[in-house]
Amino acid sequence: MRGSIDGLESSAPIGTMLPAVFADDDLAQRFVAGLDEVVAPIHSVLDCLDTYFRPDLTPVDFARWLAGWVGAETDGTEPEPLLRAAVATAARLHRIRGTRRGLAEAVRLAFGVEPEITESGGAGWSARPLGPIPGESRPRLHVHLRLPDPTPADHYRLDHLVAAARPAHMPYTVEVTAGAAERTPER
C-alpha cells in the first residue's frame, strides 16, 4: 500500500518555493519541511504515475484495482503473474469476447491451463442457395477443465467465467476434473 515512507524526500521542497522574506526564517523552513514529509509520497506517486498503469510494473494492490477498472476476469485469488497477465490482456480479450478463442484465453488466464471446448457452431460457404447449414441444429457449449487438485470453488469460478465470456445466446455446461493438464507458460 502506498503511504508515508520514512526518510522520503520531496522532489519539490516547499521551502525553496517560499518568498525571499521566508528563506532565512527558521520557523517557516521547519514548518514547511514537515509539510514536505507529508506530501512527499504524493509527489513520488505523481512523478511515477505512468508506471502505475503498466501491469508489469504497478504494485500488486493497484494491479487488483486496475483489474476491476479494465474489466479483467479476476476474482482476487489468482497468483500475481496471472493477475498481471489478465490486466495486460483485458482490452484484447474484450475485442474477442464471445468467441471460442476469447473464451479459451479467459479460462487460460484465470486457471493457467488450456480448457477443452466443444461447441455446436460452424461456418461454411456455398455457391448454391439453401445449402446445408453447418454445425448442429441445437446450440451448445461445453467447457472441460483438467486441474491437478480441483475444488468446488474451481467449478463455481469456471461457471461464472464461462457465463460472462460466452456468446449471450449460447446454453453451456462446465466440467472440472482431476487430471494432468499442460500448464501454459506464465507471461
Give per-residue pLDDT as tens, 113-155.
999 999 988 777 788 888 777 878 888 999 999 999 999 999 9
Do β-strands 116-119 and 172-178 pair in parallel, antiparallel, or remain unpaired? unpaired
State the Cα angle at 62 between 51 and 44, rounded to 5°.
50
Q: Could you read off the pLDDT of 60-95 as tens digits, one per residue?
A: 989 999 999 998 888 888 889 988 998 999 989 889
Classify each residue of 94-128 as buried b or exposed e, where b means 16 or more C-beta atoms within 10 Å of its C-beta.
eebbeeeebbbbbbbbbbbbbbebebeeeeeeeee
What pTM value is reported for the model? 0.65
Of 38, 50, 29, give the one whose Cα is nearest residue 10. Answer: 38
